[in-house]
Copies of this chain bind each other. A is one copy, B any other.
Amino acid sequence: MNYNQYTSRLLEKAVNEFAKLPGIGRKTALRLVLHLLRQKSEDVDLFADSIRTLREEIFHCKKCHNISDHEICSICANPTREQDTICVVENIRDVMAIEATQQFNGLYHVLGGIISPMDGIGPTDLTMDSLVSRVKAEGIKEIILALSATMEGDTTNLFIYRKLADYDLSISNLARGVAIGDELEYTDEITLGRSILHRTPFQTIFK
C-alpha cells in the first residue's frame, strides 16, 4: 500500500516553502496554505506578487543601508532632518522603533547585525567601513550608539568607539536605567546600579 502524507504535490511544495520561514513549522505551514486555498485567486496573486516585487525591486539605501524603494531612503533624502547626527542601530526594525518614539530627527546607520563571535559575525560582516566613510565625508558631529544592552552590543559599541576615536565627534550611548513603569524592587541589580551611577540631574529632565 502506498500512503502519501500529501495527496497533492502542489500542496506539499507550498507547505515546504512556508515551513522554511523562521518560527513556522509544518503544521502551521499547512494551516496557512489551506487558508490561502480558501481565498480568491486575485487575492492570492496579490500576495505572491507582493513577495516577488519586494525581493526584486527593493533597495538598501546607499547611505544608511536602511530598506528603501529608492537608492537613497526617505530619511536620508529628507532635508529637514539633522544631517550631522547619526544614530547607529542593528537592523531596520530598530529604525522603526526609534522613529515611532518621534524623539530623534537625525539620520541612521544600519549595521546589519552586531559583533557576535558565537554566531560567527565579525566587524567585516557589518557596514562598519561605510559608517567610517560617512563620518569622514559628511561632516558628522554626533554619533548615538543605539545597540542592544547585551554583551554583543557592548562589544560592538566599544569597537565603533575605537574606530571613531580619532575624529572630532561627540559619541554617546542610549541611557541605561530603570524602565518607565518598572518597580524598583523588581529591577535587576546591574541595571539599578547603573541607574544610580548615571543618575540624571533633575534640572535636565524638566529643561
Contact = CB atoms under 8 A, between A and B. Distances in A.
Contact of A7 (B30, B55, B67): B67
Contacts of A45: 52, 55
Nearest to A5: B96
Nearest to A30: B93
Contacts of A52: 44-45, 48
A57 interface: yes
Which of A45, A55, A57, A96 gathers most chain B CB within 10 Å?
A55
B23 A58 contact: no
Interface in A74-98: 74-75, 78, 80, 91-93, 95-96
Interface in A40-64: 41, 44-58
A6 B31 CA distance: 28
Interface stretch (A14-22, A132-140, A164-172): A14-22
A10 B73 CA distance: 13
B69 A3 contact: no
A200 interface: no
A10 B53 contact: yes
Contact of A51 (B4, B8, B36, B57): B36
A150 B106 CA distance: 58
A95 B23 CA distance: 25
A35 B21 contact: yes
A175 interface: no
Nearest to A27: B93
A129 interface: no
Contacts of A100: 3, 5
Contacts of A30: 93
21 contacts: A2-B78, A3-B102, A5-B96, A5-B99, A7-B67, A7-B96, A8-B67, A8-B73, A10-B53, A10-B57, A17-B51, A21-B36, A23-B28, A30-B93, A34-B91, A37-B58, A37-B67, A39-B55, A44-B51, A45-B52, A48-B52
